[in-house]
């Protein structure tokens, strides 16, 4: 579904990603793990068009997207849930969700999609008319995920969806991620909660200093000496 080849990305004159290559197959959960500053968010921002690579290519469903605008990439079926959620605090819960359905095909089915989002996150139905700024941090994160689903994506990019949440809500976020895969949505997941991420994902890439250091099936990485020492404290 997603194919990234020899990607280099810069911030100004500073190189942030070096020769990144990875793929995501339909129906998979693929994880990107690594320390702060490793390049995980930069990679997601490059995929969704907020940054343009200096070299290399990104293809989605066989079509090159590395030169497209962010809204054109959303139209093709990629949704990005950024770190921290970034909801529209002066809008209601429902208005936030509707903002996620701004593409033509998504807007025609927005009422149907909102019902589906409310099934995943019943608390958002209860808070439908509340301003987003009155929600708790966990509820705002649920709203951000729900808004990302409103474009009816084929591929979801999640950036630190469990950041700042209580252990109970972290477990809920990972439950939702697994349920989305069961609904046919493919997921590229950035997370610092390495153990839970490797337990829910199919494959993972470990990024360090803008480079892929280790990649493979998650069950293998969970027993890797490198991953255990660097990320699991074992």
In a domain, 182, yes or no: no
Indicate whether 46 belongs to any domain. yes
Q: How many domains does the chain have?
A: 1
Question: Could you tell me if residue 196 is inside a domain?
Answer: yes
- Residues 80-135 have pLDDT tens digits of 998 877 899 999 999 999 999 988 889 999 999 999 999 988 999 999 999 999 99
- Straight-line distance from the first to the last Cα atom of the chain, in angstroms, rounded to the nearest whole number: 34
Quote the pLDDT of residue 132: 94
% of the chain surpassing 70 pLDDT: 99
| Within-domain flag for 63 | yes
User: Rounded distance, CA 160 to CA 190, Å?
Assistant: 5
129 inside domain: no
In a domain? residue 32: yes
Residue 125 lies in a domain: no
Give a three-class secondary structure readout of the chain. CEEEEEEEEEECCEEEEEEEEEEECCCCEEEEECCCCCCHHHHHHHHCCCCCCCEEEEEECCEECCCCCHHHHHHHCEEEECCCCCCCCCCEHHHHHHHCCCCHHHHHCHHHHHHHHHHHCHHHHHCCCCEHHHCCHHHHHHHHHHHHHCCCCCEEEEECCCCCCCHHHHHHHHHHHHHHHHCCCEEEEECCCHHHHHHHCCEEEEEECCEEEEEEEHHHHCCCHHHHHHHCCC
Q: Taking a C-beta distance cutoff of 8 angstroms, is the pair 167, 112 a contact? A: no
Supply the pLDDT for residue 234: 54
Q: Which residues constitute the domain of residue 59?
A: 1-77+156-165+192-234
| CATH number, domain with residue 13 | 3.40.50.300
For the whole prediction, is pTM greater than 0.85?
yes
12-65 pLDDT, tens per residue? 899 999 999 999 999 999 999 988 888 999 999 999 999 999 999 999 999 999
Do residues 214 and 227 lie in contact, with contact meaning Cβ atoms separated by under 8 Å?
yes
Digit-coded pLDDT (tens) for 127-161: 999 999 999 888 898 899 999 999 999 999 999 88
Residue 70 lies in a domain: yes
């Amino acid at each position: 579904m997603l194919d990234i080849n020899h990607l280099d990305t810069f911030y100004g004159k500073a190189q942030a990603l070096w020769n990144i290559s990875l793929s995501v197959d339909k129906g998979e959960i693929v994880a990107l793990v690594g320390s702060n500053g490793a390049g995980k968010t930069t990679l997601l921002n490059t995929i969704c068009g907020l940054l343009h690579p200096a070299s290399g290519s990104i293809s989605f469903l066989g079509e090159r997207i590395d030169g497209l605008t962010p809204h054109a990439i959303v139209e093709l079926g990629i949704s990005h849930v950024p770190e921290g959620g970034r909801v529209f605090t002066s809008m209601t819960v429902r208005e936030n969700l509707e903002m996620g359905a701004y593409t033509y095909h998504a807007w025609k089915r927005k009422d149907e999609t909102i019902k589906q989002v409310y099934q995943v996150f019943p608390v958002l139905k209860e808070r439908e008319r509340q301003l987003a700024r009155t929600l708790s941090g966990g509820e705002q994160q649920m709203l951000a995920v729900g808004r990302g689903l409103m474009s009816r994506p084929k591929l979801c990019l999640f950036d630190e969806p469990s950041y700042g949440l209580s252990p109970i809500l972290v477990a809920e976020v990972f439950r939702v991620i697994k349920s989305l895969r069961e609904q046919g949505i493919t997921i590229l997941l950035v997370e610092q909660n390495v153990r839970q991420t490797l337990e829910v994902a199919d494959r993972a890439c470990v990024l360090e200093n803008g480079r892929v250091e280790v990649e493979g099936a998650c069950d293998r990485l969970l027993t890797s000496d490198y991953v255990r020492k660097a990320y699991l404290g074992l």
